[in-house]
A and B are shown apart, each in its own frame.
Chain A
């Protein structure tokens, strides 16, 4: 079955630590996205990528980094510079066409130890 796999489902970060969230898709989508969702809040775009080896900052990129070395993979690193990382992180993908919807993975819930 085609889909988007995020791992881990739950992640705990210690102070000063960088952590990486995985996102893999087998939908053959060119575009991939990372969102952050805080309790009772909407989705906020962190980074997005249209093509391998290229990505753009979204609305809240500070304290985060990404890479896009393969079409199928778009990992997100939450760095120690992100002082309030506790949130629900969602990865999505889509065809590169404004008429196409985005499809989401199951999410990773990140908490501070």
Chain B
């Protein structure tokens, strides 16, 4: 089983809708979780960190963590065309410290 799994997409949502991106991880001991956004041809940018079960909100972004089910989600409310990008989920490894990245989900927000 891959350590961090994401649906590659593309996920297409209309402008103004809620985009829901999901990520599952294999290490039950993971304590921190990160979401990165990567525009085409650019480097990944950290957009959310979450450390405890439940929801964390930052503007139009909400990260949801469920450790019992080993998944973390990113919700984007009022999606805009500028949100079109690939979203990477990252989880610390069970040994070492280089984050394990999922392959990313491509999001397309259509006007």
Q: State the Cβ distance, B93 to closest chain A Cβ, in Å.
A: 8
Chain A residues near B45 (CB-CB < 8 A): 104
User: Any chain A CB within 8 A of the CB of B19?
Assistant: no
The answer to whether A104 touches B44, judged by C-beta atoms less than 8 angstroms apart, is yes
Chain B contact residue count (CB 8 A cutoff): 23
Report Cα–Cα, A88/B86, bound state, in Å: 15
The answer to whether B46 touches A43, judged by C-beta atoms less than 8 angstroms apart, is no
9-residue interface stretch from A11-19, A60-68, A74-82, A92-100: A92-100
Most chain A beta carbons < 10 A, residue from B42, B44, B49, B51: B44
Chain B residues near A107 (CB-CB < 8 A): 42-43
Chain A residues near B92 (CB-CB < 8 A): 98-99
Using a Cβ cutoff of 8 Å, how many contacts connect chains A and B?
Answer: 52
Q: How would residues 57 to 98 of chain B score, 1 for a CB under 8 Å from any chain A CB and 0 otherwise? A: 000000000000000000000000000000010101100111
Q: State the Cβ distance, B29 to closest chain A Cβ, in Å.
A: 10
Chain B residues near A41 (CB-CB < 8 A): 103
| Main SS at interface, chain B | loop
User: Any chain A CB within 8 A of the CB of B17?
Assistant: no
Query: A42-B102, A43-B88 in contact; A101/B46 too (CB < 8 A)?
Result: yes
The answer to whether B104 touches A42, judged by C-beta atoms less than 8 angstroms apart, is yes
Report Cα–Cα, A24/B76, bound state, in Å: 33
Chain B residues near A8 (CB-CB < 8 A): none
User: Any chain B CB within 8 A of the CB of A102?
Assistant: yes
The answer to whether A98 touches B103, judged by C-beta atoms less than 8 angstroms apart, is no
The answer to whether A101 touches B103, judged by C-beta atoms less than 8 angstroms apart, is no
Chain B residues near A102 (CB-CB < 8 A): 46, 90, 98-99
The answer to whether B31 touches A98, judged by C-beta atoms less than 8 angstroms apart, is yes
Contact of B101 among A43, A88, A100 (CB under 8 A): A43
Nearest 8 Cβ contacts at the A-B interface: A42-B103, A98-B92, A104-B43, A99-B32, A107-B43, A101-B34, A43-B101, A48-B98
